[in-house]
Amino acid sequence: MIRFRQIEAFRYLMSTGTTVGAARKLHITQPAISRLIADLEEDLGFRLFNRVKGRLEPTTAGVRFHRAVEENFLGLERLRKAAETIREDEHEGLSIACMPVLATTLLPLILKEFFKLQPYVPVKVDSIGNSELLVQLQDMKVDVGISAEFASIAGIEVEQIYETDPLCALPPGHPLATKERIYPEDLEGETVIGWLANNALSHGDEDKVYFGRAGVKPRCLIRTYTSHIRYAMVANGFGVSIVEPFASSIWTAHGVVVRPYETDVKHRYVLAYPSASSRSSVLQDFRQATLKVAGELAGKQWVQPLPAAEAADEH
């Protein structure tokens, strides 16, 4: 019967390449490592290593078995990390991973509602990009994530909470600011602040869905990961940008003009949970607070109407 200690010895021998290194990792002697490997080979029924000029070289079977071992140890490592996280928490609390723009706009509104239900629950907030957020959820390092919608991924369950149209952000005094709505054709020849590729939309996808159907090819000199940086670049006159609406009220105070952007694309946002986790009453209350805020935002007008004179010119 294969024993866990044998597998540990095999993993360390593969990673260090020597019985000396493996023995140091396990804090046992070299002969003990050799004995564990010999017993493992006997239990498996095939050789894991060949001895060549005094060195141990993995056999083909040994390499294949190592792959299988690593796949299974990945799950055990995630369990170990989850246990460490739980052990470090002195009290039951809530750990949230959130996209930066949502952490500074949507999340404070949610927490106001949440603390009405759970006034004494400690909350940890990690403001990170979508890619890292998914890893945190898979590793069960956080209880819940709030992010832009993403493709189905193993180990994560999602619940859509909000859907909205994109906006076009314009620098102060931009000629297009007199228009009630912005169309892709309006941005022909404009410099556009774009997404970097590891966000919800890669720049190739963004160019295609926002501009491709109209045959418009944007000129992007600056690309960035975060929405606030896009708004900041627009505020400083570097170009226009297709943006989410949550941060619009912050940046209109700095002169940015936002207008509806006419496209079939929707911006969707989700609550995301580790698939293997059971949902505590604390997490259920956070979900309830989130859905309440999302419902209140459903009818929100994110852009201010044009001044009367400009509206008359537009029509």
Mean pLDDT of 272-301: 87
Residue 274 scores a pLDDT above 60? yes
- Verify that 76 and 101 share a domain, yes or no: no
CATH number of the domain at 40, please: 1.10.10.10
CA gap 255, 249 in Å, rounded: 10
Asked if the structure places residue 315 within a domain, the reply is: no
- The confidence band for 225, taking pLDDT boundaries of 50, 70 and 90, is confident
Residue 76 scores a pLDDT above 80? no
- Verify that 255 and 176 share a domain, yes or no: yes
- Summarised one tens digit per residue, pLDDT across range 84-105 is 665 555 456 899 999 999 999 9
Report the Cα 188 to chain-centroid distance in Å.
Answer: 32
Highest mean pLDDT, choosing among 54-68, 75-89, 170-184: 170-184
- Verify that 257 and 278 share a domain, yes or no: no
- Verify that 120 and 143 share a domain, yes or no: yes
Q: Show the tokens assigned to 26.
A: 């396990």
- Verify that 112 and 57 share a domain, yes or no: no
Rg (CA), the chain: 27
Mean pLDDT of 296-304: 80
Asked if the structure places residue 314 within a domain, the reply is: no
- The confidence band for 305, taking pLDDT boundaries of 50, 70 and 90, is low
Of 87, 103, 130, which marks where a domain is finished?
87
The interaxial angle of helices 4-16 and 19-26, nearest 10 deg, is 130
CA gap 132, 287 in Å, rounded: 21
Mean pLDDT of 104-133: 93
CATH number of the domain at 238, please: 3.40.190.10
- Verify that 258 and 219 share a domain, yes or no: yes
What are the distances in angstroms from CA 138 to CA 89, 132, 141, 199?
19, 10, 8, 18
Least confident of 20-24, 102-106, 148-152, 246-250: 148-152
Contact criterion met (CB below 8 Å) for 270 and 151: no
- Verify that 205 and 121 share a domain, yes or no: no
Contact criterion met (CB below 8 Å) for 243 and 169: yes
Residue 196 scores a pLDDT above 50? yes
Q: Which string of b and e fits 11-44 if b means at least 16 CB within 10 Å?
A: bbbbeeeebeebbebbebeeebbbebbeebbeee
Q: How many domains does the chain have?
A: 3
Contact criterion met (CB below 8 Å) for 124 and 95: yes
CA gap 306, 180 in Å, rounded: 7
Contact criterion met (CB below 8 Å) for 225 and 129: yes
pLDDT at 251: 94
Mean pLDDT of 269-298: 89
Domain residues for 171?
Answer: 166-265
Mean pLDDT of 115-143: 90
CA gap 147, 133 in Å, rounded: 8
- Verify that 176 and 140 share a domain, yes or no: no
Asked if the structure places residue 69 within a domain, the reply is: yes
Q: Is the pTM of this model over 0.95?
A: no
CA gap 226, 106 in Å, rounded: 15
Residue of 225, 222, 223, 228 whose CA lies nearest to 200: 225
- Verify that 32 and 103 share a domain, yes or no: no
